Structures are given as C-alpha cells and as structure tokens.
C-alpha cells in the first residue's frame, strides 16, 4: 500500500478517486507544526536551531497518518508545488521519522492542477524533497520569529498601546502612513481651463485651449478666474480653422494570464474582494479541479493549454480574433524555481464553474487566460489642431475610434485610479475647415492629492518594490487589519493613530529595518537560498549581527527619552507652523505652557507642560492645525430642535460620543464607526440621542418593534428576541415589512432543531427528475446539504446554496447514492463478563 499525504481533505478525496486501489490518501489539514510562541524557539547561538511543536488540534490527523504509515511501503508527499507545500511535506517526514514510522521509500510529487492527467503524470515522475526550498522556508520563518519576538518586547515597554511589529507588515504599514502624510501635506492649487463647444457637419465636439498669446498653454497657466475669463473672451471673439489633422494607429496587446498578485488586484477592482477572500475562493476552485495552482509568479501557460485556448477562441470568434502565432509571455519572477505556470482554467471548454463568488472569480480567470491568446485591439487616435487667424491662439480636439476590438471583445483590465483623457468620436475634418463655435466655457479645477491605497494598489506597490511575495500579501494585509493599525473606508486604507505612532517609532529607531530597499534586498537573499545560491544560516547571521545590538540599545533607553525623540521626529505633524507665525507649541488653554508628546496607559497624547495646573490634552492623531487650537475638549454641535438643550461631541476612553444636558440628567450616545467624521453633525447627533426608535407595531403580536444600537452593533428587537442589522443607517431606514422579515429569519436561524428529522428545510427545490422524490436544501451541522429523504449529499465549497439548481442537486444526490452508504465506525465489542467464582462447598 502507498500512502499519499496532501494538505486538504477536498484535495485528498479527489486524488484518491484518480489513483484508485492500492493508494491511501490522507490530508494534513495544512501545516502540522510551527515554532512555539515563546523565547528560545530559535537559537541564534546554536546555528539558528529551531524547536518545532506539533499543533494540538492536528493530533487526530497526525495519528491517522502515522497509523497508515506503519502499513505503507511508500510515502508519497503530494502537497502544493511551492515553498509552503515543500515545508509541509518536510514537516510530515520529520514527524513520522521522529515517531519511527517513516516508510523506507519516500517520494515527493507536485502537480499544477488537480486533474486526472496531471496527477497520474506527477505520480510517474517523483523526486526527492527540495532541500533548497526547505532552507528558504526555515530562513523566512526564523527571520519573522526573530523580528517579532525581539522587537515586540521593546514596543510593549517603550511604546504604550503598540501590539506587535513584523518584518514585512511594518513596511507595508509604512507605505500607508507615508501616503497619509502626503495627503495631509498636500495643498490644493486652483487652475482653470477654457473649452470651446464646436460643431461640424451636425456633429458636436469639444476643443480645449492649448495655445495662448503665442505660447503653449501650461496646465497651471490660468491660475485665477480673471485670467481664465480674459482667455475665454479671447477665444469667443476669435475665428478658428483646422490647421492639421493627425491620425495615428494604436495597438493594444492583451495582458498575460493571472499571477497571484494580479489576480488579487483585479478581483479587488472588479469584484470588490479582499486579498484573503480571493485566495480562499481560488483555493476552493483549485481543489475542485477547476483552475491551476493559484500561488504563482509565472505568466506562462503550458503548450497544451495554449492550444486548448486557441481552439476555444476559434470556436467562439471568427478567424480575425486568433493571432497567427501563439502568444508567449516571459515571467518576471526573480526565482525560476518558484515561477510556476500562470493561473488558468484546467479546461478551456468549461466557461463556468461553481456559483456565487466562486463563479465570479472563475469567470475572471477564464476570460483573462483566454484573452491572453487573442488578437490585439486596433484603434485610431485622431488629433485635430485649430488656429485663429493670428496664429496666437490654438484649440485641440482629440478622439479615438475602435477599428477592431480583438481581445477587448472579451476582457479589459481594470484601473486603480483612472485619469482618462481619451476623447470621443470626432467628425471628419480637413485642413482649412471652419467648424461652428457654439459656446466657450471656463472651467475651474483643483489639483488632487495622491489617492489612498486600495488593496489592489497596495499589492501592486509591494510587488513593484519587491517586498513580500505573492503568497504572503493576503496575510500581510490581514495582520494590519487585525492589529487595528489601519481601517478601511470605501475600499481605501486609512492609517489609525496606533499605526502612525508605530511607524514613527520604527522610522526613528529602526529605520534600516523598515527601509524599502533593505526589505526587498532581504527578499532577494531568501530567493537566492531557494535557488541554491546562498546558505540560509549565513543570511540569518548577517541579519542578526546588526539587529540584536540595535534592539538592546533601544531597550536601554528610558520611555521618557523615547517619547522626547518621537516628539522631535513628529513635530511637523503634531505642531505644524501657524499662519500668523506664533509658536505652535504654546498651550491654547493657559497660554504659558508648552505642548509636547506624552506616553500614557492607553497610548500617546499631547499635553501641556504646566500639568497638573493646566490639564489641556489633545489626542495623538489630532494635529494642531494652523491655529493650534484643536483639542479633544467638547465640540458644541448645536441645540436639540425639540428640547432646546445643547448637544456636544466629546471623546472618552471608549471613543467619541455625543451628550445632551448635564449631570445625572445628561443623555449620551456613542458615535458608531461607520459614520464618517466629515458626515457627522447635529442631524446625526439628534438621531443617535433619540434611540431606541420604534419601527411600528408587529402585525401578528401587536407589540412594538424597535431599532437601536447595542454593544454588538445595530439590531431590531421584538418581545425579547433580536435580529442584527448591517449598518447604522438601517437603524433609521428599516420599515415594518423588512423588520418582520428580518426578525422571522433570525428566529428560524436560531430555532432550528439539532435533529435532522425535525429541522425545517432552507428551500424545497422540487421533484427529482429521475426518481420524483422531493429534494430539499437543508442546513446541517457541517454546512448545507441536499436530501431526497434517503440520500444526503453535501454541497461542494464552490456551490453557493442560494444559487443551487434542481438539476445540480439531483446530480449531487445521484453521485452520493452511487458510492453506497457511508462506512460507519465499527462497534466496539463489549468485554466478556468474567464468570462468577464458584462457591466452596460447606464443610461437613
């Protein structure tokens, strides 16, 4: 018997079906052990020796693997084809060897797709474990451990409120914080443009002023409305004729198929998926055999896949959409060993897979891969220049005409931040033509600050800088969210106070280790290890030689010294120069004390030097502003329209809140996080203070239904039962019909019996098309399943329950029935009772 070990049970189930008898396939359920989170797990003084602990929750899986290994002739390690997959295989081998149950023969196989051909081909060509990849894994894991467990204690003692720092996550955080600083430092500039509304042969078009007073007009040249009005009047009074018509052919070639990072970027742009959600869905599609492996730097496709894609294009479009030669893309990955095939469908004849988010992501992957082998798009870009009689003023109109869509007929890549100046369709004109001038407008503009990072643009920037690797981006972003160093609003990253303070601390005391070039260089060294060009312990030694003394040096400084250094470092942000030239550090309350950064139990804040006589304080993340008068004191919002009482906005230990009245009679309400600061005013304050809101009387009970905000967020309440709402806005917008439905859904969800027989179905799909038995969609302990009363079939991860069709359900039931009844656990035989001892005969 041959034992095959993979990561996931879904993968194990599929592969065992492909391999047939003679093979036993078990899942490790991911990594089985890791460095324990305590000091000494990595020993730099002993060649960076590592102590590994098995995960307690993997004991069951490890026992099953060990039991089967005792009976196996061969162990086949078939985990994913990347560094993490190699590491899991190595861990399994090490654990089995330690238990002394490792089979004599150990093989490693990898496949890029979970299809029968790919799996059988891989089994025919086994190899040994890749020691270079394992070394690279150990080096990366040791680095991350040493940074975290050496730097974090420094943060806890010297920077109150900081939770942790990481080798790569801190650099990603720095990108977000620096963008925030750029936005704050940005000062908008006013400028104007002049546009003529023209018409020729019945077709209108716009032409903008590009030449004025004999000079080329710079974008910022018309800086004031008066200048723009003079230019507008001049254009209105002048007569223009066509001076030149220039037409240029433009060709656009398709993008290569997805890599991990480009998939994350495009799924964020087009589908609104987070990086972590994209990877979860892609993992399910891979395990279902729908796509190739989804952690890759490579952009190339297998020759057979290219042929299949070209065949699909020929079937779908006419011959013009198929280029004469296949397109070949070159990977930009620095390490060829980790540059696998691009992400693509395993079958180009299958244009749909799964449902819900799985179907959306598959559609994206399918179209991108197919479009990569299609013909280029051909356009015609036209530029028309018009001059007045003196030649001192010129207008320009631009337009673009699609001549042949090519790959754009199927797929067009999204753009993070559009700045599209492609013109519309222009009328046919020749030199000397005089189009009619219908109107002339002057338009006011303001320069815009750089946009905040979205998940897509952050991943793109990290990749450009060479920081992290595609398989790590999702976890990097998730850590920043979990640590609350950042928040996301309208799909953009905003740096929180704790994130800004941590970044300032690291820039001031550990500048080298959050430098972009240093981090990218370290990534290159890790890639050199995996390529066999560097020794992993030597790389760690070089890093540790400088890092350890630096942390010891900072640890020796007093917290007050650290705060004083940060006060100076952050002075431009905390105490910006005032327009009147006065000292921005002068306390606005006592006028004699000086403001400075202080550290407290709940983080950093700004306070007056005259404390305790003057108790003025200001939040760390609340800049002084041009007048320096901003503080966290009460902000008067206005008077309540009914009571006339004053309403103020305040800041407390648990965040901002509003208050109406004074003393024991005061009414307060927290300000929910989903209300943006710029949108909050007296109207919102009045609404919040009015809670709970009575939606109306329930049509069945006649009892009131109320909406309010509690400890766990917005909710509906009726007769002691509750239903969650998704946002603060819903508290004030939900009507009675919607409230009744939500309460009923919540009651059904909470009240389902545990026993399958008495549980209500989620949906009755209809009669089985072959057996005519009624098929129901049910919610079970381990997820959704379908049943015809005799056979239960679990829904695959790639199928959304709310989009399941009757035919799909019937197919699942038929497939499950064909496998026969599930094997039950053998009943343990009751131990035989010992015979009662015979009584001795009584003595006569």
Active-site annotation, residues: 293
Give, to the nearest 10 degrees, the angle between helix 260-271 and helix 473-482.
Answer: 50
How far apart (Å, rounded) are the C-alpha atoms in residues 506 and 513? 8
Q: What is the 3-state secondary structure (H, E, C) of 49-80?
A: EECCEECHHHHHHHHHHHHHHHHCCEEEECCC
Written as six digits, the tokens of 528 are 């050199």
Write out the H or E segment, with its range, that includes residue 530.
helix 516-530
Written as six digits, the tokens of 804 are 């399941």
Q: Which of 379, 343, 268, 359 is nearest to 81 (CA)?
A: 343
Q: Find residue 489's DSSP bridge partners.
A: 492
How far apart (Å, rounded) are the C-alpha atoms in residues 167 and 170? 6
Q: Are 2 and 23 in contact (CB under 8 A)?
A: yes
Written as six digits, the tokens of 536 are 């992993």
How long is the chain? 844
Q: Are 269 and 416 in contact (CB under 8 A)?
A: yes
Cis upstream peptide for 612 (omega within 30°)? yes
Q: Find residue 606's DSSP bridge partners.
A: 597, 618
Q: Between vectors from CA 355 to CA 351 and to CA 356, what angle results, nearest 5°?
A: 120
Q: How far is CA 123 from CA 110, 116, 585, in A?
A: 8, 11, 71
Give, to the nearest 10 degrees, the angle between helix 516-530 and helix 131-158.
Answer: 150
Write out the H or E segment, with its range, that includes residue 83.
helix 83-98
Q: Which of 619, 709, 722, 630 is nearest to 668 (CA)?
A: 709
Q: Which of 766, 777, 782, 779 is nearest to 822 (CA)?
A: 782
> Which residues, other chains included, contact 476 with Cβ-Cβ below 8 Å and sequence gap of 6+?
166, 168, 169, 172, 462, 468
Q: Is 33 exposed, middle or buried (0-12, 13-18, 19+ CB in 10 A)?
A: middle
Dihedral over Cα of 476, 477, 480, 483: its sign = negative
């Amino acid at each position: 018997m041959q034992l095959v070990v993979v990561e996931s049970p879904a993968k194990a189930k599929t592969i065992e079906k492909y391999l047939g008898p003679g093979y036993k396939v078990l899942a490790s359920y991911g990594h089985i052990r890791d460095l324990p989170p305590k000091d000494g797990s990595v020993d730099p003084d002993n060649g960076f020796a590592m102590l590994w602990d098995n995960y307690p929750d993997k004991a069951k899986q490890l026992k099953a693997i060990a039991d089967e290994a005792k009976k196996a002739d061969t162990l086949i390690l078939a985990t994913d084809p990347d560094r993490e997959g190699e590491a899991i295989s190595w861990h399994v081998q090490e654990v089995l060897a330690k238990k002394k149950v490792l089979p004599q023969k150990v093989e490693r196989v990898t496949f890029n797709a979970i299809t029968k051909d790919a799996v059988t081909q891989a089994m025919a060509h086994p190899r040994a474990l890749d020691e270079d990849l394992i070394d690279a894994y150990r080096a990366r894991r040791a680095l991350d451990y040493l940074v975290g467990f050496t730097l974090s204690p420094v943060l806890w003692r010297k920077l109150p409120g900081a939770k942790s720092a990481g080798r790569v996550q801190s650099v990603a955080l720095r990108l977000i914080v620096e963008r925030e600083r750029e936005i704050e430092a940005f000062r908008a500039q006013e400028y104007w443009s002049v546009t003529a509304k023209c018409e020729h042969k019945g077709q209108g078009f716009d032409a903008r002023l590009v030449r004025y007073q004999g000079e080329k007009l710079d974008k910022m040249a018309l800086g004031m409305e008066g200048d723009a009005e003079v230019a507008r009047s001049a254009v209105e009074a002048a007569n223009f004729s066509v001076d030149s018509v220039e037409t240029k052919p433009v060709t656009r070639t398709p993008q290569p198929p997805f890599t991990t990072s480009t998939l994350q970027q495009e799924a964020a742009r087009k589908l609104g998926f987070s990086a972590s959600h994209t990877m979860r869905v892609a993992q399910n599609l891979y395990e279902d055999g729908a796509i190739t492996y989804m952690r890759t730097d490579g952009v190339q496709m297998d020759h057979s896949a290219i042929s299949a894609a070209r065949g699909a294009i020929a079937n779908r479009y006419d011959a013009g959409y198929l280029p004469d030669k296949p397109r070949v893309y070159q990977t930009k990955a620095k390490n060829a060993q980790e540059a696998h095939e691009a992400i693509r469908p395993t079958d180009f004849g299958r244009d749909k897979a799964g449902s819900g988010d799985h179907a959306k992501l598959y559609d994206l992957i399918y179209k991108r891969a197919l479009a990569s082998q299609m013909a280029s798009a051909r356009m015609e870009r036209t530029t028309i220049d018009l001059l007045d009689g003196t030649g001192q003023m010129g207008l320009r109109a631009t337009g673009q005409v699609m001549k042949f869509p090519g790959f754009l007929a199927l797929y067009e890549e999204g753009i993070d931040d559009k700045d599209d100046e492609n013109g519309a369709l222009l009328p046919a004109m020749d030199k000397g033509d005089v189009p009619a001038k219908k109107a002339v407008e002057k338009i006011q503009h303001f320069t815009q600050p750089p946009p905040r990072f979205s998940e897509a643009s952050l991943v793109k920037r990290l990749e450009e800088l060479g920081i992290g690797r595609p398989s790590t981006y999702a976890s990097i972003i998730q850590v920043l969210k979990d640590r609350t160093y950042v928040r996301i609003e309208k799909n953009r990253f905003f740096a929180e106070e704790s994130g800004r303070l941590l970044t300032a601390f690291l820039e001031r005391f550990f500048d080298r280790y959050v430098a972009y070039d240093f981090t990218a260089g370290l990534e290159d060294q890790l890639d050199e290890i995996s390529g066999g060009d560097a020794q992993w312990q030597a790389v760690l030694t070089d890093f540790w030689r400088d890092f350890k003394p630096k942390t010891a040096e900072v640890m020796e400084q007093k917290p007050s010294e650290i705060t004083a250094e940060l006060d100076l470092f952050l002075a431009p942000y905390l105490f910006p120069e005032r327009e009147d030239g006065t000292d921005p550090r002068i306390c606005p309350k006592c006028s004699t004390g000086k403001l400075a950064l202080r550290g407290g139990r709940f983080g950093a804040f700004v306070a007056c030097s005259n404390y305790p006589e003057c108790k003025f304080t200001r939040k760390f993340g609340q800049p002084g502003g041009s007048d320096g008068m901003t503080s966290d004191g009460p902000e008067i919002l206005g008077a309540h329209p009914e009571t006339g009482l004053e309403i103020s906005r305040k800041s407390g230990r648990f965040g901002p809140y509003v208050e109406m009245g004074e003393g024991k009679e005061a009414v307060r309400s927290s300000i929910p996080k989903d209300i943006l600061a710029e949108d909050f005013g007296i109207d919102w304050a009045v609404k919040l203070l009015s809670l709970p809101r009575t939606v109306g009387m329930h049509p069945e009970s006649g009892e009131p239904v109320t909406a309010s905000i509690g400890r766990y967020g917005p909710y509906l309440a009726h007769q002691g039962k509750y239903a969650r709402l998704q946002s603060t806005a819903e508290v004030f917008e939900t009507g009675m019909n919607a409230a009744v439905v939500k309460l009923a859904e919540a009651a059904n969800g909470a009240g389902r019996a545990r026993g399958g027989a008495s549980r209500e179905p989620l949906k009755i799909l209809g009669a089985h098309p072959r057996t005519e038995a009624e098929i129901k969609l049910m919610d079970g302990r381990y997820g959704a399943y379908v049943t015809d009363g005799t056979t239960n079939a679990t829904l695959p991860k790639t199928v959304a329950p709310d989009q399941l069709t009757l035919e799909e359900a019937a197919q699942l039931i038929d497939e499950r029935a064909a496998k026969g009844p599930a094997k039950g656990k053998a009943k343990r035989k009751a131990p035989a009772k010992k015979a009662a001892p015979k009584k001795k005969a009584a003595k006569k």
